[in-house]
Chains A and B, each alone.
Chain A
Amino acid sequence: MPTVAAGTVHATKVYGEDDTAVVALDDVTVGFPAGRFTAIMGPSGSGKSTLMHCLAGLDSLTSGQAFIGDVDLGSLSERRLTRLRRDRVGFVFQAFNLVPTLTALENITLPLALAGRDPDRRWLDHVVDTVDLRPRLDHRPAQLSGGQQQRVAVARALASRPSIIFADEPTGNLDSRSSAEILSFMRRAVDDLAQTIVMVTHDPSAASYAHHVLFLADGRIVDEMPTPSADAVLDRIKRLDRSGRT
Chain B
Amino acid sequence: MLKLSLRDLRAHLGRYALTFFAVAIGVGFVAGVITLTDTISRTLDDLYAGLNGGTDVAVRGPGQFELGPEFGGGVQRPRIPASLAEQLTDLDGVAAAEGYVQGYARPIRPDGEPYGNPNFGAPTIGTNWGVVDELNPFELVEGRAPSGPDEIVFDKRTADQTGYRVGDTATVQTASGVREATLVGIARFGSTDSPAGAAITLFDNATAQAMLAMPGQVDTIAIVAEDGASPVAVRDTVRSELAGTDLDVVTGEELIAESQATAQETFDGVRTFLLVFALISVLVGTFVIYTSFSFIVAQRQRQVALLRAIGASRAQVLTTVVVESLAVGVLASVVGYVLGVALSAGLAGAFVPGSSAVVEPRSFGIALAVGVVVTVTSAFVPAARASKVPPVAALRDVAIDTSSRSIGRLLLGGSLAVAGAGLLGAGIARIEVRDLSPLRVSGLGMGGLFVGTIVLGPVLARPASLGLGRPLPRLRGIVGRLAQQNAARNPRRTASTAAALMIGLGIVSLFLVVNASLRASLDDTVDNRFSGDVVIDSGTGYTGGGLPGLVAHEVNALPEVDAASGVRFGFAQIAGRSVAVGGVDPETAFDLFDVDVTAGDVADLDHDGIGIFGKTADAHGWRVGDRVTAVFGEAGPVELTVAVLFDSKDLTGAYVLGTEAFDLNLPAAGDMQIWIRLAEGVSVERAEAVLEPLVATFPSAEVQDVGEFKASVKAQYDIILVLVNALLALTIVIAMIGIVNTLVLSVVERTREIGLTRAVGASRGQVRATIRWEALLIASFGLVVALAVGVLFGWVLVRMLADEGFSAFALPVTQLLAFTALTGVLTLAAAVVPAVWAGRRRILSAIADR
In the complex, which residues 736-765 of chain B have their Cβ closer than 8 Å to any Cβ of chain A? 752-753, 756-764
Residue pair A111, B482 in contact (C-beta under 8 Å)? no
Contacts of A91 in B (CB 8 A): 759-760
Contacts of A56 in B (CB 8 A): 759
In the complex, which residues 94-129 of chain A have their Cβ closer than 8 Å to any Cβ of chain B? 95-102, 106, 110-111, 113-116
A91 to B759, CA, bound (A): 8
A101 to B756, CA, bound (A): 13
Residue pair B844, A58 in contact (C-beta under 8 Å)? yes
Contacts of A235 in B (CB 8 A): none
Interface: A139 (CB within 8 A): no
Residue pair A96, B761 in contact (C-beta under 8 Å)? no
A208 to B844, CA, bound (A): 28
Given A100-B753, A101-B482, CB of A86 within 8 Å of CB of B844 = no
Contact of B485 among A95, A98, A102, A111 (CB under 8 A): A102
A100 to B399, CA, bound (A): 12
Interface: B714 (CB within 8 A): no
Interface: B808 (CB within 8 A): no
| Distance to closest chain B CB from A167 (angstroms) | 13
Given A59-B844, A96-B847, CB of A85 within 8 Å of CB of B482 = no
Contact count A vs B, C-beta below 8 Å: 72
Given A96-B753, A99-B753, CB of A82 within 8 Å of CB of B761 = yes
Residue pair B760, A101 in contact (C-beta under 8 Å)? no
A69 to B45, CA, bound (A): 86
Interface string of A52-68 (1 = CB under 8 A from B): 01001011000000000
Contacts of A114 in B (CB 8 A): 478, 757, 760-763, 766
Contacts of B244 in A (CB 8 A): none
In the complex, which residues 444-503 of chain B have their Cβ closer than 8 Å to any Cβ of chain A? 477-478, 481-482, 485-486, 488-489
Contact of B756 among A78, A79, A96 (CB under 8 A): A96
| Distance to closest chain B CB from A101 (angstroms) | 3
| Distance to closest chain A CB from B539 (angstroms) | 63
In the complex, which residues 67-96 of chain A have their Cβ closer than 8 Å to any Cβ of chain B? 78-79, 82-83, 85-87, 90-91, 93, 95-96
Interface string of A26-51 (1 = CB under 8 A from B): 00000000000000000000000000
Residue pair B481, A106 in contact (C-beta under 8 Å)? yes
Interface string of B388-402 (1 = CB under 8 A from A): 000000000010000
Residue of A whose beta carbon sits closest to that of B487: A101
Interface: B843 (CB within 8 A): yes
Interface: A156 (CB within 8 A): yes
Residue pair B844, A83 in contact (C-beta under 8 Å)? no
Contacts of A98 in B (CB 8 A): 756
A106 to B763, CA, bound (A): 18
Residue pair A99, B757 in contact (C-beta under 8 Å)? yes
Residue pair A58, B486 in contact (C-beta under 8 Å)? no
| Distance to closest chain A CB from B485 (angstroms) | 3
Residue pair B760, A102 in contact (C-beta under 8 Å)? no
Contact of A113 among B477, B486, B759, B843 (CB under 8 A): B477
Residue pair A85, B486 in contact (C-beta under 8 Å)? no
A98 to B752, CA, bound (A): 10
Residue pair A58, B757 in contact (C-beta under 8 Å)? no
Contacts of A82 in B (CB 8 A): 758, 761-764
A74 to B356, CA, bound (A): 66
Residue pair A99, B756 in contact (C-beta under 8 Å)? yes
Among B477, B486, B756, B758, residue most surrounded by chain A Cβ atoms (within 10 Å): B756
| Distance to closest chain A CB from B139 (angstroms) | 75
Contacts of A79 in B (CB 8 A): 763
| Distance to closest chain A CB from B166 (angstroms) | 75
Contacts of A106 in B (CB 8 A): 478, 481
Contacts of B482 in A (CB 8 A): 99, 101-102
Residue pair A110, B844 in contact (C-beta under 8 Å)? no
Given A78-B764, A111-B761, A114-B757, CB of A102 within 8 Å of CB of B481 = yes
| Distance to closest chain B CB from A13 (angstroms) | 12
Chain A residues within 8 Å of B, Cβ to Cβ: 53, 56, 58-59, 78-79, 82-83, 85-87, 90-91, 93, 95-102, 106, 110-111, 113-116, 156
Extra 11 A-B pairs, beta carbons < 8 Å, given A93-B759, A100-B489: A82-B762, A82-B763, A91-B759, A97-B756, A100-B398, A101-B486, A102-B482, A106-B478, A114-B762, A114-B763, A114-B766
* Contacts A/B (CB < 8 Å), 18 sampled: A56-B759, A58-B847, A78-B764, A82-B764, A86-B760, A91-B759, A96-B756, A99-B482, A99-B753, A101-B488, A106-B481, A110-B757, A110-B761, A111-B760, A111-B761, A113-B477, A113-B481, A115-B761
Chain B residues within 8 Å of A, Cβ to Cβ: 398, 477-478, 481-482, 485-486, 488-489, 752-753, 756-764, 766, 843-844, 847, 850
Closest 6 CB pairs of A and B: A86-B761, A101-B485, A113-B478, A111-B761, A114-B761, A111-B760
